[in-house]
Every structure is written in C-alpha cells, then in structure tokens.
Amino acid sequence: METPNDNFKSGFIALVGKPNAGKSTLLNQIMGQPIAGVSFKPQTTRRRQLGILTTDEYQMIFTDTPGLNNAKDKLSQFINNEVRFALEDADVLLFIADISKQLDELDHELSSLIKEKRSTQKVILVFNKSDLVGPGQASQNKQAFQALFPEDPAIEISARTGKGVAKLVEKVHFLLPVGPEYYPTDQITEDFERDIAAELIRAAAMENLDDELPYSIAAQVDEYKERENDMLYIHGIIYVEREAQKGIVVGKKGMMIRKISTEARLAIEEMTKNKVFLDLQVKTQKDWKNDPAFLSRIGLAGAGNNA
C-alpha cells in the first residue's frame, strides 16, 4: 500500500506488562471502544490482539499482549510465547507498570526479556493506575520502575479514566518511523467480531466468578449471524475443566449464567453497535489447558510450542 505522504508514520507498538497491569484497558481507551476483554482479575488476555489507530498523520498498530506468567501448562507456555513474539515484532514497546503495587519478580523478568530481545525498539515506561495510589507511594514505586529503564522516557496515566492517554499517543507518534498504511484506514483490529465476542464472554465470566475458577474457563462462539431487525444472534459456549464447575457457572436457578450473559451482551452491543441475542451454554472439556487440539480450536493455535 502506498504511503499517503512523505511524513506519514506507521509502526507496531507492543503493550507489555505483568498480568492485570491494565494493558487491555489502555488499548480499549486508545481505540475508544471495547476490542479487548477486560476483567479486574489477571490473565484475561491470552493471545495477542491488534488495535489499529489511523489518522491523516499516522497508523499505529497496537498489540495487546498477555501478561508474562509462570508457565505451568501448555496454555501458559503459549501465553509467554505470545509475549516474546510481540517484543520482536514491535517498533515501540510500552512497558505498562502498575504503580499502585511494588515492583516484583515478574516485572524484573519482563524487563530482562525486553533487554534481551531489544535491538532498535524504543521503550516508553507507562506508569498506570495513578488514580489508585497516594503521591508518596506513587513516587517510591515510580523510582523503582524507572531504575529498570533509566535511559527511557516515562509518562503517568490512568487507563481507566483516560488521564494522560492522549499525551502517550503523542509520544508514540514522535517515536514512530516514516512508513506506509499497513491496514485499510477504517480497519480497527485484525480479529473477527465473533472472536472478540468470545473474549468479551470470557472476560464477563472471569469478572463474576470467584477464586481459581476463572482460570479454568475458556469461551468459544460457534454461531454468529444477523437475524431480522438487525438483531445479532450469538451462540456461545463456556468451557470448564471439571463437571462440578458447571454448576458454579450456571449458579442457583441459573442466576450466575444470566448475569454473565447480560454483562457480555452489553459489551458486545457496545462493540458491534447492534442489538444482540446471546445464548450461552456451559460444557466440560477436561484438562483443556494441556490439550493442543482444543487450544487450537479456540484460537490459541500453536499452544505449547517452545519456539
């Protein structure tokens, strides 16, 4: 595709950080609409997801990456590989630091990985969740994170409220190389709407279920079609690992599955700008995190490869 003008800039920007640092919230804030599933529980994101922001001056291709985690199964190995691939592909790396919490081992591990993979990539240290911490604690935590990248610029934001996000986009624009439009002007993501819908269903389930159960959940949309009066009909499946977990997801008299369905439907309607009829089913898929065929079926192709 031809470059629109000599000063047009473009490039890939990886959002990296530990689980629950606010990467998906930031991507949705930048894009002005939900394209990434968000939950207050960590590990909502399991695969790379693109957000494409195009203006007359630039095309920014943001990659929302999963949080680096301690790999215990094939799913976790796949998640960590997704982070590594994103680091290698990016022109700019946004290291998302949750300054409401102290620096920990995963932050150190991720910064080491960035330094190991980094060649020409620019890094911006993004201090997120500035609205959740007092100035004294924020200052102390910011200094600790800045010590990981002492030569790189930093900016304080709140992905949740949008504070500082416009300035962050300006900083990214400044660092991008001159380049072409990689995607059509009106395209905002590489994912199909049915895949985003599945992620929004899973995020709603994670948000409403307690303890370890959210990490035993996978979601798939197996029917997605427009019916009369512009109504979208979506049939989704929530998978759990054990038969006993089905009852928890359904809830007493079906109350939990209705709550999950309502929250997911509202998020999908906001994404599609359509009325949605969402029909959810709960199924058991034993030990799915270690089942490569199943992981591939739900869009996590290549899970478990150590490449």
For residue 21, tell me if it sits in a domain.
yes
Asked if 165 and 18 sit in the same domain, the reply is yes
For residue 238, tell me if it sits in a domain.
yes
What CATH number is associated with residue 103? Answer: 3.40.50.300
For residue 185, tell me if it sits in a domain.
no
For residue 184, tell me if it sits in a domain.
no
For residue 76, tell me if it sits in a domain.
yes
Closest CA to 94 of 168, 32, 158: 168
CB 93, CB 125: distance < 8 Å:
no
> Is the pTM here over 0.75, yes or no?
no
For residue 104, tell me if it sits in a domain.
yes
pLDDT tens-digit profile, the chain (307 residues)? 444 467 899 999 989 888 778 888 898 889 886 655 443 433 444 445 678 899 999 999 998 776 555 555 556 665 666 666 777 778 999 999 999 999 988 888 888 888 887 778 899 999 999 888 888 888 999 999 999 999 999 999 999 999 999 999 999 999 999 999 988 887 777 656 777 788 889 888 888 887 656 667 888 888 888 877 778 899 999 999 889 889 989 999 999 999 999 999 998 888 778 899 999 999 998 888 888 788 777 766 544 444 3
Asked if 246 and 281 sit in the same domain, the reply is yes
